[in-house]
Chains A and B, each alone.
Chain A
């Protein structure tokens, strides 16, 4: 981050004045700091995706097959038939511009091709040229242009500058969803092996080891055991997680990011403590799986097919272990996939039971077919029925706000469950302004596989609107903790906060729960899960 300007400078140089040349005549400039490195061909090859090859985005020649235009044309055609969303969205945009300033990347960069409408026009212009009569006859006048190498590079650059957050889709009078456009754009690019490595390698890892980080089963257990030790030193309780346990009540799946890096690790410790509490108090038997050790799905950022291939292990593992239903941890795009795709792709899950919380008797009607419940739904239900012993005062050093992650917000509609949980485990909670939360929430700027290091400038630009909203509640209410239910957020937002608001830290909701949760027989806690003194315990340090 050292070569980046200070936040003030970064913001002051944003210029929304469009270039003098029209967008079709303004060639793409693939700029350092704004793009991610090319996919490692070995990763592309491992999962058998088309045309694995070495290439470099900033080199002239991308080493494409000779018939690359035909491949894309055919791919385009097939997708128009398979996805009504794609076909309709290619045809009906009136370019009213309502979406233009809704994109965090446009707000943060001022680059007109980050206006959702223009991002889509990058594909539409070629669509008109190849598939519509008007475009074939009138060419440029009808907004059509042929596919060239420059156009392809533009696609690549801008479809990897979209986090598929769907904010623009909320405001579109026809519901045109740029996530759909970007998904299709990336599918087409993947036909030529043009993925980014931050997506391709996690995909290959996930296919092989069950998780994006490539953690092998023994190592996965080791990492969890490390948390078990930490929990013991903080609470005096040794929790005993199950792994790959047949006949458990519930299979628990969460993103591997939480096993791997702070502050997600504290959320992971939170899961372990919650599971332990439920086991001790109510005899609920929850198991982890080293095979289905990933909730997230970077296949979703590659192609529908890859998404399905990576997702398949969830149901497969639930079936093998003979659990009743599946509980899912805090993750954004994971939940879009589970909520809107999983049952369709890999269901029906007729070998599972309709999810019922055995402790409260609550029937999760909304998950009766997919049979997977979100940890926030589950925890909110437990709290509502008074089944958790909580001491929110332990979180009294925190003034918390909640970042609605894009996918649970606009691909699910999960707003009040996590807020209810937070408000029961934390005494000081303040929401950010209405234009920046719930369905209008701003992306962290690093979703959809863009959480790399080399594109840091892009991430900080894209995260700016979110950071500004946090800044508002930080200044107004003294907010010092940003809670979220997404693993990418937990990885990306600390960087964003370090840059814009070093006083604000990031947490998962379950970490807050675990800090407040009184485990049966625990010692008096002096620190929170991060090893920091609890409120009132400072002097004992």
Chain B
């Protein structure tokens, strides 16, 4: 039994009960209006404060991790992206890092087999990470339909692409069909499950995992699961939900009739995620932009970097050195400043 994930699971179960029962006893305005507003406020203020905090810290040295050939002699092929020399190169490196998880793509694993150290390419963490982040992004983007009226064409386009997979049997006598299946939701659920299982099954990863690593996974699982439940199974009244969300976004909040309690659970989970975000490792989303080993060019020998707090330090000067060793230097025939 792992205490770390039990804590986190318990926390998410408690959150579920809180919201589910809370709404049953008439606290819908709290869960539908007050908490979401509060959460968004905490998210915005928290993220800004965090980023400002990082930005306030100095960048005394230009210390990129160089992952390719430096720019040196003109006939040596320079690795412009992995060891960027110009800001343009850095931008490409950062884009690849943020959009493609380039460093994670390099991932390998090794093991000692028959007395030999064997290295292998390890792709699954990268695949799962990409699947997770991109499906989450699409899910979030799709949800814009609840906050816009009319729904922008790009949102509709994404929906169309996301729901290319349909399951329908339409004949004259027999009709069966699910509502358009959005793949992103299921991919998200699958990726979260994979990331969770990886944490639990792989001994070293389990060893390094904190409760703070499981909690967001459970929470996001809860969000995806409640969303899927509403869409495909409990078939909630989407009209009243949109009424509520439009009320929130236009700052005329009210609680319409006929909103399913599962919706409040879903919304509460999302609110918790937002409020938790700035105080957690989820801030890697913003932090990756500020990582000095990635966002600086490897050109320190060509373009001087200035350290804002570069203070003078005591040094052992040549004069002091010669003072101590002058006689020996003269004897050895070494030139000196003062005979």
Contacts and interface: CB of A to CB of B under 8 A. Distances in A.
A221 B336 CA distance: 14
Contact of A166 (B65, B69, B298): B65
Contact of A81 (B57, B314, B329): B57
B213 A88 contact: no
Contacts of B293: 85, 169, 175-177, 180
B204 A115 contact: yes
A202 B254 CA distance: 72
Contacts of B110: 101, 107, 435, 465
A511 B188 CA distance: 57
B106 A290 contact: no
Given A117-B208, A174-B284, A177-B293, A11 B112 contact: yes
Given A87-B57, A141-B211, A433 B119 contact: yes
Given A83-B58, A101-B204, A369-B301, A244 B334 contact: yes
Contacts of A469: 117
A83 B204 contact: no
A98 B107 contact: yes
Given A87-B57, A341-B61, A366 B301 contact: yes
Nearest to B46: A133
B207 to A, nearest CB: 4
Interface string A172-211: 1111110010000000000000000000000000011110
A40 to B, nearest CB: 18
B231 interface: no
A221 B332 contact: yes
A97 B107 CA distance: 10
A410 B65 contact: yes
A92 B58 contact: no
Contact of B316 (A115, A173, A207): A207
Interface string A72-84: 0000000011111
B215 to A, nearest CB: 9
Contacts of A56: none
Interface residues of A, number: 119
Given A217-B329, A316-B318, A98 B301 contact: no
Contacts of A101: 109-110, 204
A468 interface: yes
A86 B59 CA distance: 10
Contacts of A320: 318
Interface residues of B, number: 98
A343 B304 contact: yes
Nearest to B50: A91
B192 to A, nearest CB: 14
A377 B63 contact: no
B328 A217 contact: yes
Interface in B282-338: 283-284, 287-288, 290-294, 298-307, 309-310, 313-318, 321-322, 324-325, 328-329, 331-335
Interface stretch (B76-84, B152-160, B265-273): B76-84
Interface string A127-161: 00000111000000111000000000000000000
Contacts of B69: 413-416
A436 B119 contact: yes
B313 A169 contact: no
A92 B282 CA distance: 7
B145 interface: no
Contact of B283 (A83, A91, A218): A91
Interface in A103-131: 107, 112, 115, 117-118, 121
Nearest to A133: B279
B125 interface: yes
Interface in B183-213: 202-213
Contacts of B292: 84-85, 88, 175
Interface stretch (A16-24, A31-39, A523-531): A16-24
B73 interface: yes
Given A83-B58, A218-B328, A340-B61, 19 more contacts: A81-B57, A85-B291, A87-B53, A88-B287, A112-B204, A112-B207, A134-B280, A142-B210, A217-B325, A309-B314, A320-B318, A343-B304, A384-B75, A410-B67, A412-B66, A415-B69, A417-B73, A417-B76, A439-B67
Interface of B: 7, 50, 53-63, 65-73, 75-77, 79, 82-83, 85, 97, 101, 103-104, 106-110, 112, 115-117, 119, 125, 129, 202-213, 279-281, 283-284, 287-288, 290-294, 298-307, 309-310, 313-318, 321-322, 324-325, 328-329, 331-335
A-B pairs, top 8 by smallest CB distance, nearest first, are A413-B70, A92-B287, A413-B66, A218-B332, A175-B293, A175-B294, A18-B207, A435-B119
